[in-house]
Amino acid sequence: MAPKTLQEAKANFEASIAYIPDRYKNGVMKADWLGPAKSDQAEKNFAAAMTTAIAKKSRQIGVSNVSNEDWRNAAANKGAPIIGERIRGALGDWEAAFGPMYAAVQSRVATLPPKTTDWRGNINSRLVPTVEAWKRAAGKT
């Protein structure tokens, strides 16, 4: 049997686009991602892979393989058309995650002293506590 040409392989791959999404979804719905992903072995594998990637400078090499023009074109032609729908689809998750943080910060801001004409004093008495409140609310302190 003669091997397929690249064009034949591409045509077969393109024809599979019609049924790949359903097969993918069915597989995902049966999969256990969390168990294996949070295991000690997965963490060891991740650490080893990161150590290797850092040693090989894989990120830097990969970045060097994409020009600004390639990146801009991909972002503009692939990202821009879908970003609005992705954001719209994530609004509920955003509100659930951001809402409590926002409420905590708003609560803290309400207790700050009034603004004065001393810009440095305003930074120390208003801005710093606001940033600290955001960091606390995000769990980063």
Q: Which domain holds residue 119?
A: 40-137
Report if residue 11 sits inside a domain.
no
Tokens standing for 47? 């650490």
DSSP state of 66: S
Report if residue 8 sits inside a domain.
no
Share of the chain residues as helix, strand and coil, in percent rounded to the nearest 5: 80, 0, 20
Cα(130)–Cα(112) distance, rounded to whole angstroms?
9
Report if residue 54 sits inside a domain.
yes
Report if residue 7 sits inside a domain.
no
Cα(24)–Cα(27) distance, rounded to whole angstroms?
5
- At 3-47, the pLDDT tens digits run 989 999 999 999 999 999 999 999 999 999 999 999 999 999 999
Q: pTM for this structure?
A: 0.60
Report if residue 13 sits inside a domain.
no
Report if residue 24 sits inside a domain.
no
What is each CA distance from 19 to 12, 16, 28, 82, 111, in whole angstroms?
Answer: 12, 6, 15, 22, 57
φ/ψ bin of 5: left (φ > 0), alpha (ψ from -120 to 50), beta (otherwise): beta
Cα(12)–Cα(18) distance, rounded to whole angstroms?
11
> How many folded domains does the chain comprise?
1
- At 49-108, the pLDDT tens digits run 999 999 999 999 999 999 999 999 999 999 999 999 999 999 999 999 999 999 999 999
Report if residue 18 sits inside a domain.
no
Report if residue 111 sits inside a domain.
yes
